[in-house]
Structure 1
Amino acid sequence: MRILLSNDDGVHSPGLVALYEGLRGLGDLEVVAPDRDHSGASNALTLNRPLTVEQHPNGFRSVDGTPTDCVHLAVNGLFDVPFDRVVSGINTHANLGDDIIYSGTVAAATEGRHLGLPAIAVSLANEGLFHYETAARVVRLLLEHNRPLVLGPRSILNVNVPDVPWDELKGFRVTRLGRRERAEGAVPMTCPRGKERYWIGAAGEGGDAGPGTDFHAVREGYVSITPVHVDMTRHEALVPLDEWVDALPDGFGGQV
């Protein structure tokens, strides 16, 4: 098995190193990650300049671009031998509910899926204890499963692991994405040159965080495993929307 590892926290992130160490011996591992923290980059792709790739003494490669850039380059040009799957992480903080819209960790996994590879995004629900080895062991267990998992096209697994020692995990739960409350307001500040600047406010708490959600599973001490489908079409709205468009008073009747 040939596995591409990436992340959004940067090539020197302890979570990425822990993931690499935790998967040693499982297959041929290659690491291509951003040269700096790109948390919140989502699926951004750099199209306005060329990208630089550097190889580090530990064999890891860094790219002066986004997580999506890293996976795209790795799969589409940096290596002659194809990969079997992509694993993105271990993210320093949880990616629950709405977080996945912004997450560069999830974006790296979805880019792998767009390029035809099974992919997993893994994050640590950080409580300040940094049990990355627990999350790495979770990923290894998933990859060593003797039954192949077929999720269908454009789907990945989003995995969130409680920040506890391995023997304190309660188990695994298959979950749906919860939903956060509205984010906190932007925080103004004044820079040394006297100009007003703003910090983006902190994410809201879990608004939809009851049983069955990823929030609830992690809070109860379980690994949350959520199948994420990248098709953002709201299919159940197609028929009522079509009827609404047909009724537009523009003479076209919804037809072109």
Structure 2
Amino acid sequence: MRLLISNDDGIFSTGVRTLANTLAAAGHDITVVCPDRERSATGHGLTLHKPIRADVMESIFAPEVKAWACSGTPSDCVKLALGALLDRSPELVLSGINHGSNLGTDVLYSGTVSAAMEGAIEGIGGIAFSLTSHTGEDFQPAADFARSLVAHLDRHPLPRAMLLNVNIPAVPAAELAGVKLTRQGLRRYIDSFEKRVDPRGKTYYWLAGELLEDIPQPPLEFATVAAASFDPADLQWMSTLETDVQAIRQNFITLTPLQYNLTCASGLAGLRDLKLE
């Protein structure tokens, strides 16, 4: 398959190198376009007020991998690749392997997820891969799962352009409990801003925070049109699925389908009789 790979950890990260080389060794046509430095937590930001530069990178990846370092955000990287660098459209847009999880509401801030979502916006399936550790350095089990998933999608393509958000526990392959299809969960943090003073006497703030564990997970929200076509048994099954936040604690690889349409169906229903003057 023709695969475009990006990330938010930067072109020199171990995660993207392991992913690209593993998939190239499996016979896929790989193009890598990544930020030239770490651009974590940039969300779906775009560069609009200065030029974007891209430099060909050599000797980082396997010889058959084509690679560019881009001065922009993860979303810039995918847009630039699709609009200027590639001769043909890829069959999938992959992002990662991120150094750290992207679970629950983390996806709203994640550059990793946003790069893969850019593929879905352009009508191309996307997959975001994240290793659930900021310190672990063994990306091979995650890359091996990516190879298996891409091989499956080569035989059984995604039913429509969507994003699959994949989180892989940072444990040895033998300790993985399996793979679970999950729904997006909820993560909350106790945010705190440390007030500091720089050497010139100017005040600045450093965002810190603590993850809150074991918070109640939200019910599944259905899009109005899609819900109308579901069989009641399907609706019941989906409502009982664990969230990615829950399943990852049991050492399952989590696979969560996401979409860029953020319409709140219950909100539409609740506002149906709203009268504005």
Identify whether the pair has TM-score above 0.5, normalized to the shorter chain.
yes
In the other structure, the counterpart of 2:30 is: 29
The verdict on how the C-alpha distance between 1:151 and 1:188 changes in structure 2, with shifts beyond 3 A counting, is farther
Q: How is 1:118-129 mapped onto 2 (pairs within 5 angstroms)?
A: 118-126=125-133, 128-129=135-136
Please give the alpha-carbon distance, in whole angstroms, between the structure 2 residues aligned to 1:151 and 1:137: 23
Cα deviations across residues 23-81 of structure 1 (Å, max 9, x unaligned)? 12331000000001110111011111221000111342111010000000101111212
In the other structure, the counterpart of 2:208 is: 201
Contact 2:191–2:209 at 8 Å: present in 1 too?
Answer: yes
Secondary structure of 1:197's match? strand
Contact 1:180–1:203 at 8 Å: present in 2 too?
Answer: no
In the other structure, the counterpart of 1:60 is: 67
Contact 2:117–2:260 at 8 Å: present in 1 too?
Answer: yes
Contact 1:157–1:228 at 8 Å: present in 2 too?
Answer: yes
In the other structure, the counterpart of 1:253 is: none
In the other structure, the counterpart of 1:212 is: 242
Please give the alpha-carbon distance, in whole angstroms, between the structure 2 residues aligned to 1:204 and 1:167: 28
Deviation, structure 1 residue 218: 1.4
Please give the alpha-carbon distance, in whole angstroms, between the structure 1 residues aligned to 2:132 and 2:38: 18
Deviation, structure 1 residue 184: 2.2
Runs of 4+ with >6 A deviation: none
Secondary structure of 2:34's match? strand
Please give the alpha-carbon distance, in whole angstroms, between the structure 2 residues aligned to 1:199 and 1:184: 11
Match for 1:44: what amino acid?
Answer: G
In the other structure, the counterpart of 2:105 is: 98
The verdict on how the C-alpha distance between 1:84 and 1:203 changes in structure 2, with shifts beyond 3 A counting, is farther
Deviation, structure 1 residue 199: 1.2
CA-atom RMSD, angstroms? 1.8
The verdict on how the C-alpha distance between 1:20 and 1:232 changes in structure 2, with shifts beyond 3 A counting, is same
In the alignment, structure 2 segments of 5+ residues that lack a partner are 60-65, 219-240
Please give the alpha-carbon distance, in whole angstroms, between the structure 2 residues aligned to 1:43 and 1:164: 30
In the other structure, the counterpart of 2:18 is: 18
Deviation, structure 1 residue 230: 1.2
What percent of counterpart residues are identical?
37
In the other structure, the counterpart of 2:3 is: 3
Deviation, structure 1 residue 203: 5.2
Please give the alpha-carbon distance, in whole angstroms, between the structure 2 residues aligned to 1:23 and 1:72: 22
Please give the alpha-carbon distance, in whole angstroms, between the structure 2 residues aligned to 1:160 and 1:177: 11
Secondary structure of 1:120's match? strand
Match for 2:15: what amino acid?
Answer: G
In the other structure, the counterpart of 1:221 is: 251
Deviation, structure 1 residue 209: 5.5
In the other structure, the counterpart of 1:150 is: 158
In the other structure, the counterpart of 2:176 is: 169
Deviation, structure 1 residue 242: 2.8
The verdict on how the C-alpha distance between 1:203 and 1:118 changes in structure 2, with shifts beyond 3 A counting, is farther
In the alignment, structure 1 segments of 5+ residues that lack a partner are 251-256
TM-score, scaled to structure 1: 0.90
Q: Does 1:79 align with 2:86?
A: yes
Contact 2:34–2:77 at 8 Å: present in 1 too?
Answer: yes
Please give the alpha-carbon distance, in whole angstroms, between the structure 2 residues aligned to 1:68 and 1:241: 33
